[in-house]
Amino acid sequence: LFQLETEANALVNFQQYSSQLPPFYESSSHILHTEVLQQLTDLIRSHPSWSVAHLAVELGIRECFHHSRIISCANSTENEEGCTPLHLACRKGDREILMELVQYCHAQMDVTDSNGETAFHYAVQSDNSQVLQLLGKNASAGLNQLNNQGLTPLHLACQLGKQEMVRVLLLCNARCNIMGPSGYPIHTAMKFSQKGCAEMIISMDSNQIHSKDPRYGASPLHWAKNAEMARLLLKRGCDVNSTSSVGNTALHVAVMRNRFDCVMVLLTHGANADARGEHGNTPLHLAMSKDNVEMVKALIVFGAEVDTPNDSGETPAFIASRISRLVTRKALLTLLRTVGADYRSPLLQGVSAEQCSATAQHSFFSLERSQPPPISLNNLVTYWPGNQHPPRVSLVPLETAPEEMPLGFLQSATQARLDGGPGARRQMELQDLVHISRARKPAFILSSMRDEKRTHDHLLCLDGGGVKGLVIIQLLIAIEKASGIATKDLFDWVAGTSTGGILALAILHSKSMAYMRGVYFRMKDEVFRGSRPYESGPLEEFLKREFGEHTKMTDVKKPKVMLTGTLSDRQPAELHLFRNYEAPECVREPRFNQNVNLKPPTHPSEQLVWRAARSSGAAPTYFRPNGRFLDGGLLANNPTLDAMTEIHEYNQDMIRKGQGNKVKKLSIVVSLGTGRSPQVPVTCVDVFRPSNPWELAKTVFGAKELGKMVVDCCTDPDGRAVDRARAWCEMVGIQYFRLNPQLGTDIMLDEVNDTVLVDALWETEVYIYEHREQFQKLIQLLLSP
Amino acid sequence: LFQLETEANALVNFQQYSSQLPPFYESSSHILHTEVLQQLTDLIRSHPSWSVAHLAVELGIRECFHHSRIISCANSTENEEGCTPLHLACRKGDREILMELVQYCHAQMDVTDSNGETAFHYAVQSDNSQVLQLLGKNASAGLNQLNNQGLTPLHLACQLGKQEMVRVLLLCNARCNIMGPSGYPIHTAMKFSQKGCAEMIISMDSNQIHSKDPRYGASPLHWAKNAEMARLLLKRGCDVNSTSSVGNTALHVAVMRNRFDCVMVLLTHGANADARGEHGNTPLHLAMSKDNVEMVKALIVFGAEVDTPNDSGETPAFIASRISRLVTRKALLTLLRTVGADYRSPLLQGVSAEQCSATAQHSFFSLERSQPPPISLNNLVTYWPGNQHPPRVSLVPLETAPEEMPLGFLQSATQARLDGGPGARRQMELQDLVHISRARKPAFILSSMRDEKRTHDHLLCLDGGGVKGLVIIQLLIAIEKASGIATKDLFDWVAGTSTGGILALAILHSKSMAYMRGVYFRMKDEVFRGSRPYESGPLEEFLKREFGEHTKMTDVKKPKVMLTGTLSDRQPAELHLFRNYEAPECVREPRFNQNVNLKPPTHPSEQLVWRAARSSGAAPTYFRPNGRFLDGGLLANNPTLDAMTEIHEYNQDMIRKGQGNKVKKLSIVVSLGTGRSPQVPVTCVDVFRPSNPWELAKTVFGAKELGKMVVDCCTDPDGRAVDRARAWCEMVGIQYFRLNPQLGTDIMLDEVNDTVLVDALWETEVYIYEHREQFQKLIQLLLSP
């Protein structure tokens, strides 16, 4: 039965066997199987220090636990790890043995092994949550015990990703606020990116999402290591801008750790791209040393200022100029120059106070040019004729807390700068710069500039283009920033197609464009999932969430909004406008005789907003049609001409109805595009009857190219549509502005790659900078009464 | 060897054989074959009256003709038909026997058979033209002999369709001007629709195409029984309007014979639809009794007047009202009413002269409303304020011969009518009516109305639509008729797309629209041959023929013309305008950076006219692209918006260049369509991922429907394009006219069915009548200085 290796060993082993075996055959009611004996002898050989109770647990023979010899060593710690049989039973996940130990052997529950771990620590590592459940029912002494690594069983479960164990522990009232080496259990779950565990903790104790670890004062979000973990917390409502004890936000941390995916999730969930953290550094300061150009772009695109100085007075641009790695430095500096940043330090070392002051002053003016200078409230001040100060209008802070933004700062700062003599102190100037930089935030609504005061109408037109609607958003943010007025109040008419239609509704419903930017980045991943045509469920869910399931078009009346849709239940298809006002009556004979088979369109007061948005944006082959509607882009991808037609007909109708006095002349048309794809040469759009296989291949290719060309031709929102609108406006004396950045690549309607989209927005920023004079003129006209 | 039926017969036969056989075996150098003998005996039995010479010819044994017995009966007419052996040899086409007969037997050439036919008549019926040739070389006595039916051999050849025989006869100097029962040989060829023969005669003697048969005085064209025969003559340059001795044209005959295809060929080759023939009947008079509504439509569409009285004073409309067959009468009267015809007789029987005069006068005014009343020069007279007579402008007759159209007739006729008392004579009034009716022809150019006198610019825009360009032509004819001025002189700018572009060039090059109507009808059969994409050769040949192979765009400078084309060597494709003037310089930054790979478009002074037309009209899948150009319809199927854009930019450019004084404001825009297809409900434009074969089928169908819808949507020249243009014009204070008839069916770009096209033109005429007030207003505005 026993094979011995040497005689000496054999003797020792025999000794052991003879002392250890009796309890097993004595307690057994029948002869032990050879297999069991073999197992037992192997165990004795490999674990010579184990007590018979340990051996019995490992063997899993219930009967043994009634044997006195085994009961006597039920709490033995004769084991390499210093654990009791109870520990072993928990690790093994053997519920029955555990019950034997507890009920017959009266095993102690709170014994710790040499590692300081209780049975709970062991049970967490097993695969059987019932053991843990049983354990928790019988004892709670070791439930919150820290082991020698400082981990409670809950920490351990989080670290190991044992979601069910976490659930059981929490049900047993394990505490969530015991500090481990990485903070509370929730932080451990975040640190090890254990999604299930983090979700479990938050679902059992929603406060945990806000809990800060005692060591860094960091929220779970600070600990998020990837996009998925960050998204989980943000969806559950954590504060995206909460700060650690040194004042860093999660964005600071994500940037420091060079986690681009996290950065994008945070930014698209409203993280303040310009938050000042430790040492006064913004995320952009930190990004500058990370050799990650995309991250720098993303931060700037989401509103980070390139000229905010940190506590040492260094701007992000200045830090970029000191980067040791040449390639990175060059790339960053080129990047910054394209949006007009000045990367000289406002505080040069070894220069006299006077010189420094002069330099700083020069630098200040340079900074004025930096980023989009026309879109600075400061710049606009000069447009109020004969007045260096803004007019005495009521300034209503929007986002910034009042204490951070004293109303008088602008004048005083300007004053200090203008004094600018030898007496001006370095510290003062730094403050000055910080304030000025802050003043350029989109912080104010000039409530005097409401449309009622205007004598002329303004029209805003937004092209279609799917996710490229982000470009429009970025342009609108620039206009809002520069004018200090919400888009809603700058325009009397807003027309949009497809994505532009969604944005028109967002404007109508007072959603900020910065918010919509985040929404778009988040939405695309949900909506453009799978392959074309996409499921329309997620898009519809999103629209209902944003605009309400029952909101009607006429629920908000100002500005007047129209969305283009293509009524495709007839041939030829017809343009339909979804309006939030009564359609003008038509006095001309109808184009076709009334066809009884065609039901009339829904009246505006009955038209659901989300349905209008969905109908306008039903791009064929991307989404299924919404009922009888196809994408408005088929007929008016650039809605300007149709909007002007509509306004004309509306005004004519008003005049006919004797309300001519209410009619205002259209004076400004602003048409925003979703970015222009680069022009590329095309070689083959020929379709002919093939006479051999090679020609057949060419024909198939040609037909495809031709199809693309025809559709692109017809729906090109940027070609003739713009020339026609411009000529029309010029003929009538309407100011026409077409803003549409040239993009470096052809971006699809359903692009989901963050990097590609950030690049597009970056190009938009560059475009805004390069066309700053045009923007300046536009803002000036929009603000003139 | 010989099988006999009865003994009596056997005896008779033996008698015959014994007398007839000797010459054959005597002349033969060897024993006759059984087969020859058998043949011979059979012949003798079946033709007991034949001489041995006849039998020898039929047997075809040359040696026999040296036998004295045979030589002796060489001119025998012992034959059922009374023909000589020579006749038989000719009919048999046996050249060698013929030579034997002529050389050895001295057979007479001018013997006629009992039917009065010479050997030539017989030779014509053979299959061997060499026999006829040989015959012609030796004799000419019977060459022009009339047989008992009055046919010369040439007549006979034409009747039998023996083209080669005709050729040989003509080479032998057979006369073409011998009268047969159906006229000259050419007339016989026409009567029997022998195309090859007719062609042969004309190619040998081109004068024959004009030759009139002595009986009816009818030209070959009068005799044409089908489209092919008529086309043959017209292509060779016959006079389409030549009259027979009673005064009927070929069109009269074709109508009388109810030959719709001939009618169409004649009309499209310029036949005068209103020619007065026998008894003063126009073709329309004759058509009224033919129970052929299509033919009536075709005639009216091609300019036949419904109110021209014949010598009995009956108008076509009146005849229609007297048709016995109820269905036809109703159909015709409904038809006529839709274009406003009055079908009451101007001369009612049994009414006193006075009453009659009054009725006639009433009828006259009714007639004024008939057909397109606004488009009557007479009507326009009233627009010259305070003047019942047209102004003293020089009236230059265009088509009508001066003696037929005395300059003063209008005043005198009007005078006579206004007097209209009891003294006014019936005959006089009839004359009057005829004259007035004639006055409504497009006969005058008011040369004082040249563009130099205008203070404002007029723009004409012509849509694309392939063969449906006929609708535009019909509309322009109406405008020209009503205004009395050529389109070329009514407008300062003409813009056209595709077919509209071709018509714009036709206007520029002073081609009459009536001419172009014929051209289009003729062209379609040549161009739309085979399957799509069509060979572009015929189209290009046609364009070169019409506009010249080397004509450049700038060769004619007034009016300014632009054709739209789609530059498709780049993505996105761009609109290119083919101009006959310098393109306005662009001051804006170019939309894209100059791409060195793209060659600039040809300068107008280098641009070939036919190429421009071809490029504008390269409808994808219909024709191969012309180089890098695709159909202008892809970007501007209705060119109005782009024309207005162009004119604005041109004027701005002029002003920039200090030539602002030359700039005239646009005051009228006339936009003509190619007919509007009926609106039809569409059920499925959905494209989705199929999950089973039935869904797959639906998807494929959906994709096709969707493709059609997208293209139709984008290139619809009649939907939003019109609304936009109207709103633009109204905003600027430009008079905008959109004329586009609703058609009953969806007509393809490449429709070749004459009936379908005639129906479309008919619908156009109805549209013109129904919109007569709009037309009247348009003409008034076009003519005001």
pLDDT at A702: 59
Q: Is the pLDDT of residue A148 over 60?
A: yes
pLDDT over 90 for what percent of chain A? 19
pLDDT above 60 (res B87)? yes
Kindly list the residues from chain B whose CB atom is less than 8 angstroms away from the CB atom of residue A727: 644-645, 648-649
Residues 6+ away with beta carbon under 8 Å from B290: B255, B256, B258
Q: Is the pLDDT of residue B419 over 50?
A: no
* A566:B713 CB<8 A: yes
Residue B494 has pLDDT above 80, yes or no: yes
Residues B92-116 have pLDDT tens digits of 878 777 777 777 777 777 777 878 8
Q: Does B743 touch chain A (CB under 8 A)?
A: no
- A462 phi and psi angles, rounded to 5 deg: -120, 120
Q: Is A529's Cβ below 8 Å from some Cβ in B?
A: no
- pTM: predicted TM-score of the whole model, two decimal places: 0.78
B719–A591 C-beta distance less than 8 A: yes
> Which B positions 601-640 lie with beta carbon below 8 A of chain A?
620-621, 624-625, 630, 634-636
List of chain A residues whose C-beta atoms are within 8 Å of the C-beta of residue B644: 724, 727-728, 731
**Tell me, what's the ipTM?**
0.77
- Pick from B681, B687, B708: CB nearest A597: B681
- How far is residue B507 from each of residues B303, B451, B470, B643, B771, measured CA to CA in Å? 20, 15, 14, 17, 24
What confidence category does residue A386 fall into, taking pLDDT thresholds of 50, 70 and 90?
very low
**pLDDT higher than threshold 70 for residue B461:** yes
Q: Mean pLDDT: which of A325-339, B336-350, B660-674 is highest?
A: B660-674
| pLDDT (0 to 100) of residue A110 | 75
In whole angstroms, give the CA distance from residue B432 to residue B460.
36
Asked if residues B124 and B165 have their Cβ atoms less than 8 Å apart, the reply is yes
Contact B620 A571 (CB under 8 A): no
Q: Which pLDDT value is given to residue A640?
A: 95
Most confident range, picked from A321-330, A412-421, B74-83, B509-518: B509-518
CA distance to partner chain B, nearest, from residue A312 (Å)? 44
Write the DSSP assignment of A552-611 as a string of letters: BGGGS-SSEEEEEEEE-SEES-EEEEEESSPPPPP-SPPSSPPPTTSPPPPPTTT-BHHH
The pLDDT score that the predictor gives to residue A202 is: 85
Q: CB neighbours of B480 closer than 8 A, spacing ≥ 6?
A: B442, B486, B487, B490, B513
CB contact, 8 Å: B747 with chain A?
no
A-contacting residues of B 532-551, CB under 8 Å? 533
| pLDDT for A361 | 36
pLDDT surpasses 60 at A396: no
Is B600 in the A-facing interface, judged by CB distances under 8 Å? no
Cα separation values, A750 from A466, A622, B204, Å: 6, 8, 73
User: Could you tell me if A744 lies within 8 Å of chain B, comparing CB atoms?
Assistant: no
Q: CA end-to-end span of chain A, whole Å?
A: 106
Q: Does residue A144 register a pLDDT over 50?
A: yes
Residue A561: what residue type? V
Which residues have C-beta within 8 Å of that of residue A307, sequence separation ≥ 6?
A315, A316, A317, A341, A342, A367, A370, A371, A433, A437
Instruction: Name the residue among A645, A680, A731 with its Cβ closest to that of B724.
Output: A645
According to the 3-state scheme, what is the secondary structure of B372-389?
A: CHHHCHHHHHCCCCCCCC
Q: Spot the catalytic one: A129, A376, A498, A677.
A: A498
Residue A696: the pLDDT is 57
Instruction: Please say if the pLDDT value at position A219 is more than 70.
Output: yes
3-state secondary structure of A61: coil
Judging contacts by C-beta atoms under 8 Å, the chain A residues touching residue B726 are 645
- Pairing outcome for strands B570-571 and B629-631: unpaired
Residue of B nearest to A733 (CA): B732
Give the percent of chain B with pLDDT over 70.
75
B653 touches A at CB < 8 Å = no
Q: A7-11, A316-320, B298-302: which has the minimum mean pLDDT? A: A7-11
Mean pLDDT of B397-404: 36
Q: Could you tell me the pLDDT band of residue B577, with boundaries at 50, 70 and 90?
A: very high
Q: Which of B640, B680, B682 to mutate to test the interface with A (most CBs of A within 10 A)?
A: B682
User: Residue B439: is its pLDDT beyond 80?
Assistant: no
> Which burial class, exposed, middle or buried, applies to A692 when counting CB atoms under 10 A from its CB (0-12, 13-18, 19+)?
exposed
Would you say A229 and A193 are in contact if contact means Cβ atoms under 8 Å apart?
yes
Q: Cα(B547)–Cα(B544) distance, rounded to whole angstroms?
A: 5
Site from A640, A679, A686, A691 to mutate, B interface, most B CB atoms within 10 angstroms:
A679
The model's confidence at residue B620, banded by pLDDT at 50, 70 and 90, is: confident
Q: Over 80: is that where the pLDDT of A667 sits?
A: yes
Check if the beta carbon of residue B633 is closer than 8 Å to that of residue B625: no
Q: Is the pLDDT of residue A601 over 90?
A: no
Q: What average pLDDT does range B762-776 have in this prediction? A: 88
Asked if the Cβ–Cβ distance from B630 to A714 is below 8 Å, we say no
pLDDT score of B340: 62
Whether residues B573 and A635 touch (CB distance < 8 A) is answered with no
Number of H-type helices and E-type strands within chain A: 37, 11
How far is it, in rounded angstroms, from Cα A155 to Cα B714? 63
Q: Are residues A573 and B709, on separate chains, in Cβ contact within 8 Å?
A: yes
> Residue B117 in 3-state DSSP?
coil
Chain A residues lying within 8 Å of B575, measured CB to CB: 719-720
Average of per-residue pLDDT values in chain B: 76
Residue B581 predicted with pLDDT over 50: yes
d(CA B121, CA B91): 8
Summarize pLDDT for A681-714 with one digit per residue, the tens. Answer: 776 555 555 555 565 555 555 566 666 667 777 7
A631 catalytic per annotation? yes
CB-based contact, A728 to chain B, within 8 Å: yes
Contact B731, A648 (CB under 8 A): yes
Complete DSSP assignment for B138-195: H--TTTT---TTS--HHHHHHHHT-HHHHHHHHHTT--S---BTTBSHHHHHHHTT-H
Give the mean model confidence (pLDDT) for residues B140-164: 83
Alpha helices by DSSP H, B269-393: 283-287, 293-301, 316-321, 326-338, 353-369, 377-381
Instruction: Name residue B512's amino acid.
Output: S
Quote the pLDDT of residue A509: 92
Q: Choosing from B51, B129, B289, B498, which is the catalytic residue?
A: B498
Asked whether residue B771 carries a pLDDT value surpassing 80, the answer given is: yes
Predicted pLDDT of residue A416:
37
Angstrom distance (rounded) from CA A364 to CA A433: 7
Helix (H) or strand (E) holding B574: strand B574-579
Dist CA B764 CA B517 (whole Å): 13
pLDDT of residue A374: 34
**Residue B523, pLDDT above cutoff 80:** yes
- At residue B451, does pLDDT exceed 80? no
Question: Nearest 10 degrees: CA dihedral of B334, B340, B343, B347?
Answer: 180
What average pLDDT does range B683-709 have in this prediction? 59
Q: What is the pLDDT of residue A6?
A: 65
Q: Which residue of A has its CA nearest to B729?
A: A728
Q: How far is CA B216 from CA A408, B243, B247, B248, in A?
A: 110, 10, 10, 10
Residues B246-265: tens digit of each pLDDT: 989 999 999 999 999 999 99
Summarize pLDDT for A436-461 with one digit per residue, the tens: 333 334 334 444 445 456 788 999 99
- What is the Cβ-side half-sphere exposure of residue A49, based on CA atoms within 13 angstroms? 9
Asked if B681 lies within 8 A of A569 by C-beta distance, the reply is: yes
Residue A739 binned pLDDT confidence (cut-offs 50, 70, 90): very high
pLDDT bracket for residue A538 (50, 70, 90): confident
Q: Is B444's pLDDT higher than 60?
A: no
Q: What does the radius of gyration of chain A's CA atoms come to, in whole angstroms?
A: 36
- Cα separation of A738 and A669, whole Å? 8
What is the pLDDT averaged over residues A332-341?
Answer: 68
Interface subset of B 418-457, CB within 8 angstroms of A: none
Does residue B510 carry a pLDDT above 80? Answer: yes
- Give the range among A468-472, B42-46, B702-706 with minimum mean pLDDT: B702-706
- State chain A's mean pLDDT as an integer: 76
CA separation for the pair A428, A413 (Å, rounded):
9
Average pLDDT over residues A483-498: 91
| Three-state secondary structure string covering A133-187 | HHHHHHCCCCCCCCCCCCCCHHHHHHHHCCHHHHHHHHHCCCCCCCCECCECHHH
Task: Tell me whether residue B498 is one of the annotated catalytic residues.
Answer: yes
Predicted confidence (pLDDT) at residue B245 exceeds the cutoff of 50: yes
